[in-house]
Amino acid sequence: MFNVLAVMSLVLCAAMVALWVRSYWTRDYVEHISPSTSVTVKLREGSVVWLKIEMSSPPPYGWEIGSRPISAGESSRDVINTPRLLEWEFMGVRYAHVRPTNGQFTLSTAAVPFWMLLCPTIAIPLLQVMRWAVRQERRAARRAVGQCAECGYDLRATPERCPECGTMPQK
Ligand SMILES: [Zn+2]
């Protein structure tokens, strides 16, 4: 009934739900620091947040993966939660771009809510279940009028085996 894609979707879906819940009580992040740019992807209160800061950063450069405890007042300090700086928002997807006049850094940040990321992972298995249900219904309807469940061929003369596709009807 399910193919590999649907199973993978469900696994992905379960993993995202776990991260979603986790995002409310921890700050998991992946950060890449180069001499001129720092790019971070982090979990934050029901959203995945991407943050890019362009400025000269000190070493160490490279990748960092970690988890920070939530500090008090962090939400209010976050650029993405500052309405004044928010440039674009649609259905919980937010984007902000900040360039202070002193020109020392440029900051771009975007947030996508977890529920939106979950939609496609739920849609694929759901579609397959629906297709399976429709197929079952069609097979039952064909059987009811003496047709082959698979191809619809009239089986009243040959009830043992479909001469068209070879299917043996289950009794
Ligand atoms: Zn048939």
- Ion ligand 1 residues within 5 Å by Cβ: 148, 150-151, 153, 162, 164-165, 167
For the entire predicted model, the pTM comes to: 0.70
Task: Supply the pLDDT for residue 40.
Answer: 93
pLDDT tens sequence across 28-66:
999 999 999 999 999 988 999 999 999 988 888 999 999
63: left (phi over 0), alpha (psi -120 to 50) or beta: beta
Q: How far is the CA of 107 from the centre of ligand 1 (A)?
A: 63
Mean pLDDT within 90-105: 86
CA of 147 to the centre of ligand 1 (A): 8
E-state strands within the chain: 27-33, 37-44, 47-54, 62-68, 86-90, 93-98, 106-113
The pLDDT score that the predictor gives to residue 2 is: 65
The chain-wide mean pLDDT, for the chain, equals: 87
Alpha helices, H only, 72-165: 74-77, 114-144
Q: Say how many Å lie between the CA of residue 153 and the centre of ligand 1.
A: 5
Interval between CA 146 and ligand 1 midpoint (Å): 11
